[in-house]
Chains A and B, each alone.
Chain A
């Protein structure tokens, strides 16, 4: 299974449509298979990002805010979308591997000493 996380630096990008950087992780039998790879896109574009998701055969997308149109498109394509996640993408990935990540989750690193 492949998981894509929209990223902005160390964090889950606040918006799907403004994302220019994604982290793709491959999971086999519930554990990470290798180091997640980062892809920098030419420009932020929800269409390009959706195409990338299709081409890469992604099964799950973890992102921040996403417009309903794009959300419906991805779920229609049978891709699970965990949206409105706030926090660093490494924690998000760990949580999803533990089966504990849900839409709207705010991860521990979000508050306090946040440096952007």
Chain B
């Protein structure tokens, strides 16, 4: 149980007071050190109560409100007037968050001089996102599509934003699962709080557990201090668990208990942490099939699958390819300051008939390539990436709307044979995959040495090995096909 903090002994419990605030809040003493803070303050900054108490507030906040030497705090103490400043902070996740700070003086009953400060930090990311101009807006906040299948998705999204139930988003890689999740969050009552995304397939199991649930000092070798997990950081907001199908079974049990009890134990911790988090999960795999083969817990599947959205692959979205090609071309032309305006008929024919196994992400990358390469106002066939011609014929053969290969398109595409890799000379993921393979061959499979040679951390190499399916035995890949 956390120790109670009294402003004046026997009068008010500050922790209780701050717990009722709808924004990140902290009480500072006369030296501008943190006396206490609420859960939202922990979530915003990434620092827990035990670490932050007693530390000068701006070392924890890392704000740009012009308070580096306590000028604003000092002014509030001297004038006794509340100050409101807009700025941003950098949280422990290395993310810049726009914030509106309100600093108010706190007096005791006996004296007129301020004896402390109340600091309220309101996350205004949502306001900033909507206030951006068309020219500079981040296209990633947009979802584009006119096809009937996407219209059905758009119709159901507001309903999902209004409820608080868990959501499962399914769809191939590159179909926009992340954007749908973030849009639902931003339009939900939780929109003004944190949206935390974590890729369950990108981290080794032990590290993933620590990232999700945090750990206490001494929980394992290297745990030199308490660390808040993603669930704690997402308190009152939304946590987006992408590639949930890759989550190890032991962690699935822990996730289930959070969904049921809204509480969890950090790694090595004895104190149960309560959280109020909405879970949105996404996967490119068929969770039903994973349940059948015992790789995913059935109870967790039903707990997550309260609401479901399936995002159709691009090849099933009639008319959207043309629309997206034009949209991204205009977008990149503006960003790159190019005069390129349209596609030639030959180029367009090729692009409209391409299979897009990487869906919108691949389409966008193709357009970005074209916009960079093209020197005229019209994109010609020669401006297209070469792998489109070399793989085009194969793609046409399997490009039916219900092509069976579609479900595992990502795995098949990324984990292609070396001959496919060589064919797609313009495709960076393929080049990178080949580069990793070659380096691993050179180091005889030693990942530490390979990571060093590539200039990456071991985790980055591990993530990319998983991404490109290099950790799967050759036999198992063959069976999928």
Q: Are B92 and A14 in contact (CB under 8 A)?
A: no
Q: Are B68 and A8 in contact (CB under 8 A)?
A: yes
Q: Which residues A93-115 have CB closer than 8 A to chain B? A: 102, 104-106, 110-112, 114
Q: Are B70 and A116 in contact (CB under 8 A)?
A: yes
Q: Are A71 and B55 in contact (CB under 8 A)?
A: no
Q: Are B94 and A116 in contact (CB under 8 A)?
A: no
**Chain B hits for A64, CB < 8 A:** 59, 62
Q: Are A67 and B70 in contact (CB under 8 A)?
A: no
Q: Are A67 and B90 in contact (CB under 8 A)?
A: yes
Residue among B33, B59, B93 with the highest chain A CB neighbour number at 10 A: B59
- The smallest beta-carbon distance between B392 and chain A, in angstroms, is 34
Q: Are A78 and B225 in contact (CB under 8 A)?
A: no
- The smallest beta-carbon distance between B88 and chain A, in angstroms, is 10
**Chain A hits for B70, CB < 8 A:** 116
The answer to the question of B69 belonging to the interface, with a C-beta cut-off of 8 Å to chain A, is yes
**Chain A hits for B31, CB < 8 A:** 114
The answer to the question of B368 belonging to the interface, with a C-beta cut-off of 8 Å to chain A, is no
**Chain A hits for B33, CB < 8 A:** 111, 114
The answer to the question of B152 belonging to the interface, with a C-beta cut-off of 8 Å to chain A, is no
**Chain B hits for A86, CB < 8 A:** 55, 59-60
The answer to the question of A47 belonging to the interface, with a C-beta cut-off of 8 Å to chain B, is no
Q: A110-B55, A110-B59 are in contact. Are A66 and B90 (CB under 8 A)?
A: yes
Cα(A111)–Cα(B52), bound, Å:
10
Q: Which residues A7-32 have CB closer than 8 A to chain B? A: 8-9, 11, 14-15, 17-18
Cα(A14)–Cα(B374), bound, Å:
44
Binary contact track A67-99/B, C-beta < 8 Å → 1, others 0: 110010001101000011010000000000000
Cα(A85)–Cα(B93), bound, Å:
14
Q: A15-B62, A67-B90 are in contact. Are A111 and B95 (CB under 8 A)?
A: no
Binary contact track B360-389/A, C-beta < 8 Å → 1, others 0: 000000000000000000000000000000
Cα(A15)–Cα(B64), bound, Å:
8
Cα(A17)–Cα(B56), bound, Å:
19
Q: Are A116 and B225 in contact (CB under 8 A)?
A: no
Cα(A40)–Cα(B90), bound, Å:
23
The answer to the question of B455 belonging to the interface, with a C-beta cut-off of 8 Å to chain A, is yes
The answer to the question of B51 belonging to the interface, with a C-beta cut-off of 8 Å to chain A, is yes
Binary contact track B398-438/A, C-beta < 8 Å → 1, others 0: 00000000000000000000000000000000000000000
Task: Choose from A9, A65, A75, A78 the contact partner of B90 (Cβ within 8 Å).
Answer: A65
Nearest chain-A residue to B61 (Cβ)? Answer: A14
Q: Which residues B49-98 have CB closer than 8 A to chain A? A: 51, 54-56, 58-62, 64, 68-70, 89-96
**Chain A hits for B56, CB < 8 A:** 110, 114, 116
Cα(A67)–Cα(B91), bound, Å:
9
Q: Are A106 and B51 in contact (CB under 8 A)?
A: yes
The answer to the question of B224 belonging to the interface, with a C-beta cut-off of 8 Å to chain A, is yes
Cα(A71)–Cα(B460), bound, Å:
14
Nearest chain-A residue to B91 (Cβ)? Answer: A65
Binary contact track B25-48/A, C-beta < 8 Å → 1, others 0: 000000101000000000000000
**Chain A hits for B55, CB < 8 A:** 86, 106, 110-111
Cα(A8)–Cα(B51), bound, Å:
21
**Chain B hits for A104, CB < 8 A:** 92, 225, 227
Nearest chain-A residue to B455 (Cβ)? Answer: A78
**Chain B hits for A106, CB < 8 A:** 51, 55, 225
- The smallest beta-carbon distance between B67 and chain A, in angstroms, is 10
Q: Are B62 and A102 in contact (CB under 8 A)?
A: no
Q: Are A67 and B96 in contact (CB under 8 A)?
A: yes
**Chain A hits for B92, CB < 8 A:** 84, 104
Task: Choose from B54, B59, B61, B90 the contact partner of A112 (Cβ within 8 Å).
Answer: B54
**Chain B hits for A67, CB < 8 A:** 90, 94-96
Nearest chain-A residue to B222 (Cβ)? Answer: A102
**Chain B hits for A111, CB < 8 A:** 33, 54-55
- The smallest beta-carbon distance between B177 and chain A, in angstroms, is 21
Q: A64-B62, A67-B94, A68-B94 are in contact. Are A102 and B68 (CB under 8 A)?
A: no
Nearest chain-B residue to A9 (Cβ)? Answer: B69
- The smallest beta-carbon distance between A22 and chain B, in angstroms, is 15
**Chain A hits for B227, CB < 8 A:** 104
**Chain A hits for B69, CB < 8 A:** 8-9, 116
**Chain A hits for B89, CB < 8 A:** 65
Q: Are A14 and B62 in contact (CB under 8 A)?
A: yes
Q: Are B94 and A65 in contact (CB under 8 A)?
A: yes
Extra inter-chain contacts (13) besides given A14-B58, A67-B95, CB under 8 Å: A9-B69, A15-B62, A15-B64, A17-B90, A18-B64, A65-B91, A65-B94, A66-B90, A67-B96, A68-B93, A84-B92, A105-B224, A110-B56
Q: Can you offer 6 A-B residue contacts whose CB atoms are under 8 A?
A: A68-B95, A71-B94, A86-B55, A86-B60, A104-B92, A106-B55
Chain B residues with a Cβ under 8 A of chain A: 31, 33, 51, 54-56, 58-62, 64, 68-70, 89-96, 224-225, 227, 455, 457
Which 6 pairs of residues, A with B, have the shortest CB-CB distance? Answer: A65-B90, A65-B62, A68-B94, A111-B54, A14-B62, A86-B59
